Amino acid sequence: MQINSLLSETTLWNLLLRFFLNLGVLFILVGLIYYKFSKKENHLFSYFLIGIMIFLICAILGTKEIKMGTALGLFALIAIIRFRTVQYSAKDITYVFIIIGISVINSQANIPPPILGAVIINFSILLITYILEIFLQKKSLSKLEVTYNNLELLKPGRENDLFKDLAGHTGLEIKRVTIQKINIDKSNAEIDVYFKKVSMSSELETNTSDI
């Protein structure tokens, strides 16, 4: 059996070959790239099953008569996930869209030459996603809400002293500080401290500290 006919014909072997290709790409995208940069274990189960089910639905029902209906159904699925799962961030929704897109491509597209065309398309998506993750990780900052007691250092021109004081208390690399509220009676202020992400940044973002 030639590889050209295997990939172009609608057969069980064709479905299995595409399925395992898609499964491998999902493992790299979700298990290696997404989890490496987000550390959100609770989304892994959903992402894998979304990719698998979208692939199977498109592969089994991918006839000319229902292609448009399938596409509309996928967009409806994206909308449902977007509005009913408020815990998803914009980045999480983007990964859902990538997973759906890759699964549709792997189930339907016949990209010549066989194998090589599919590998190039999938590799390009994975590479671009990984490069963007690295770039955003270097540029992004985490936020920590702080109740700060040294109002003297909040005066204009004392930014360097303020950063050094905050870094000494927190051990973080401070990049920016914004003042939210100053309480003259209590001699403190509510400030947002922005710092370079560290391994425990996900925990720090939700905490409020007194300094």
pLDDT digits (tens, 9 = 90+) for 186-203: 888 899 888 876 544 444
Per-residue DSSP letters for 112-137?
Answer: SSTTHHHHHHHHHHHHHHHHHHHHHH
Cis status, amide bond into 156, omega within 30 of 0: no
Domain layout of the chain by residue ranges: 3-138, 141-210
User: Running DSSP on this structure, what letter comes out for residue 61?
Assistant: S
3-state secondary structure of 208: strand
Per-residue pLDDT for 208 more than 90? no
Domain 141-210 has CATH 3.40.47: no
56-62: which pairs have CB atoms within 8 A and are 24 or more residues apart? 56/19, 56/107, 58/103, 58/104, 58/107, 58/108, 59/15, 59/18, 59/19, 59/107, 59/108, 60/15, 62/107, 62/108
3-state secondary structure of 143: strand
Average pLDDT over residues 99-116: 79
pLDDT digits (tens, 9 = 90+) for 121-180: 999 999 999 999 988 877 777 778 888 988 888 888 888 888 888 888 888 888 888 888
pLDDT of residue 69: 61
- pTM attached to this predicted model: 0.65
pLDDT of residue 206: 42
pLDDT of residue 97: 86
Whole-angstrom distance, CA of residue 168 vs CA of residue 172: 8
The two structure tokens encoding residue 41: 């274990």
Single-letter amino acid, residue 101:
G
pLDDT digits (tens, 9 = 90+) for 22-66: 999 999 999 999 998 888 888 899 899 989 988 888 887 765 555
pLDDT of residue 66: 57
The two structure tokens encoding residue 176: 């920016």
